Chain A
Amino acid sequence: MRELSAVFRRELGGYFATPLAFIFIVIFLFTMGAFTFNMGGYFEIGQADLQIFFNFHPWLYLFLIPAISMRLWAEERRTGSIELLLSLPIPLWAAVLGKFLAAWAFSGIALVLTFPMWITVNYLGHPDNGVILAGYIGSFFMAGGYLAIGSCLSATTRNQVIAFVVSVVVCFLFTVAGLPLVTDFFASWVPQQVLNTIASFSFLTHFTAITQGVIDIRDIIYFFTLIAGWLIACGVVVDMKKAG
């Protein structure tokens, strides 16, 4: 646990040691606001909830989360600090999890800073705050899912640009797995069972369910399994690179 906490604190501090954290948070908040108010037509709809706000999260995360995760391992490889990290007495799981949790906490901080949205909607009307809380929880788990994917892909390369691009593509596939774009491609040649399985991988399906205010244990299990699976894969990748 000591090693986990040391890695976590170092990583989280790393975000704030450079302007990266501030730039990211400003852009995150700005685009969230712009999408919700301008493109989403928040005021025109006249509903006192944050449904529109949450609807944009998967699409913004698609680009913003890989921007956080791309440096997790690729940067360590590029600067050579990975040699230091892996020769310190830190269990591999603690390094993988510590980095992931720091990135997750950072995205959580950015998410919490959207609280003026919540204040606004409460000022304008009487929203169901339980649904809004569920939306935030769902959004946070979805961010974790994207980060776990990005973390694993970041471990495969020393080039942050490659890590970013590949993460965006893979995250995109996971996001839209339930949409016709993907299901149509498989529909003609895979059994319905497999098609359902593919569709069930979709972030959108699970996230939308949660933002409706229904926190189903299956949706939570889905995100936990997804995060755990990608983090284990990340550990395997890091370990394989040790074998040269």
Chain B
Amino acid sequence: MQTANGTHPAAGPAAGDAMIAIDGLTKHFGPFTAVDGISFTVARGEVLGFLGPNGAGKSTTMKMITGFLAPSAGRASICGHDVVTDQLPAQRLIGYLPEGAPAYGDMTPLSFLKFIARVRALDGAAAMQAIESAVAATELQGVLDQPIDTLSKGFRRRVGLAQAILHNPPVLIMDEPTDGLDPNQKHEVRKLIGRMAADKAIVISTHILEEVDAICTRALIIDRGRVVADGTPAQLIGRSRYHNAVSLTIGGQVTAVAAETLKALPGIESIEISPRGTETTFTLFPLQHDAISAEVKLIDAVADLARQQGWLVRALYGEPGRLDEVFRNLTRSDTADMPGKNAA
């Protein structure tokens, strides 16, 4: 994306190409355990989506990785630099967008970015070039001289993003980077992350599930401070009970008959009926849940049946699975009382 700070400080003795290594990271706030022994690694080129309900420990984990909070136990390292014992070198390698994109509100984006450039050891022409490309990437040109306090939520978020990518860091940690952006801006930010992904290790937290599918190469679901799922978005979707199910929507008043007929098809385990207005949707769960061939066969069979029965077919498709359903099944902590979320 930008080459202002072309050479990164030399990477330390990292294991393989894991640029972020988290091992047994734990955080207690008094009696409350916000993060409970989380371990994972992120390699160059990976975009890790950090998912979980509010209060699951996403932000707390990010705060520990970036050195804002000290871990109660466990360790985290960035390219081999421990974030506690070797903090400044680790922090130099990180670009961080904290939750809510805090900034100095009385500054203008330009003076704010100049301050960040100075702290990041960028001077003169290199600093100007870095600021220019970060501003271009986040489309801040129009508001560079307005106090940040007077900017809309979307612009403030983009100032935070510009600040995070300013020094072209090898590791990017972003806490809800698209929160508060309109759909067009969300799309732009996702494209930006996609462009940067190849030579960086990126961690984003989000509770927008479509985002995981759109930009993440891997997703980690955490709940009550523990990792409850870790895999590619496809693998997670594969855990949905809707994975490879077939959905059929027909019009008219044929429900009772149709349900019986569909149930009689071979290879059906169960069937769900959801009427809506003058239409009815049947969701057919195949016996062989994990086989795409079974799904295709089932679609053909349903199509044949619909033709024989003369149903008014409005929609017929195989379901990839539903990430929100997987998410709901794995996480329950948002229903409980979660103190300490905003501690420190």
Contacts and interface: CB of A to CB of B under 8 A. Distances in A.
B and A form one assembly:
yes
A86 B69 CA distance: 9
A2 B118 contact: yes
A91 B88 contact: yes
B68 A81 contact: no
Nearest to B98: A83
B68 A87 contact: yes
B63 A83 contact: yes
A80 B27 CA distance: 20
A87 B91 contact: yes
Contacts of A91: 88
A87 B28 contact: no
A210 to B, nearest CB: 35
B264 to A, nearest CB: 60
Interface stretch (A13-21, A170-178, A212-220): A13-21
Contact of A81 (B28, B29, B69, B103): B103
Q: Is the interface of A mostly helix, strand, loop or mixed?
A: helix
Interface in A1-57: 2-3, 5-7, 9-10, 13-14, 17-18
A2 B123 CA distance: 11
B100 A80 contact: yes
Nearest to B104: A81
A91 B102 CA distance: 20
B99 to A, nearest CB: 8
B273 interface: no
A244 B69 contact: yes
B119 interface: yes
**Interface size grouping (class) on chain A:** 20 to 34
A89 B69 contact: no
B115 interface: yes
B270 interface: no
B98 A80 contact: yes
B116 interface: yes
A83 B27 contact: no
B318 interface: no
B118 A6 contact: yes
Contact of A244 (B70, B91, B106): B70
A5 B99 CA distance: 27
Contacts of B259: none
A126 interface: no
A87 B94 contact: yes
Q: Among B29, B106, B120, which residue has the most Cβ atoms of chain A within 10 A? A: B106
Contacts of A89: 88-89, 91-92, 119-120
A14 B27 CA distance: 34
Contacts of B240: none
Nearest to A15: B106
B96 interface: yes
B343 interface: yes
A84 interface: yes
A242 B107 contact: no
A17 B107 CA distance: 7
A90 B69 CA distance: 15
A88 interface: yes
A234 B72 CA distance: 22
A73 to B, nearest CB: 13
Interface of B: 27-29, 63, 66-70, 72, 88-89, 91-92, 94, 96, 98-100, 102-107, 111, 115-116, 118-121, 147, 163, 343-344
Interface of A: 2-3, 5-7, 9-10, 13-14, 17-18, 79-84, 86-91, 241-244
26 contacts: A2-B118, A2-B121, A3-B119, A5-B118, A6-B119, A10-B107, A13-B111, A17-B106, A17-B147, A18-B106, A80-B99, A80-B100, A81-B104, A83-B63, A83-B68, A84-B96, A84-B102, A87-B63, A87-B67, A87-B96, A88-B119, A89-B89, A89-B91, A89-B119, A244-B27, A244-B344
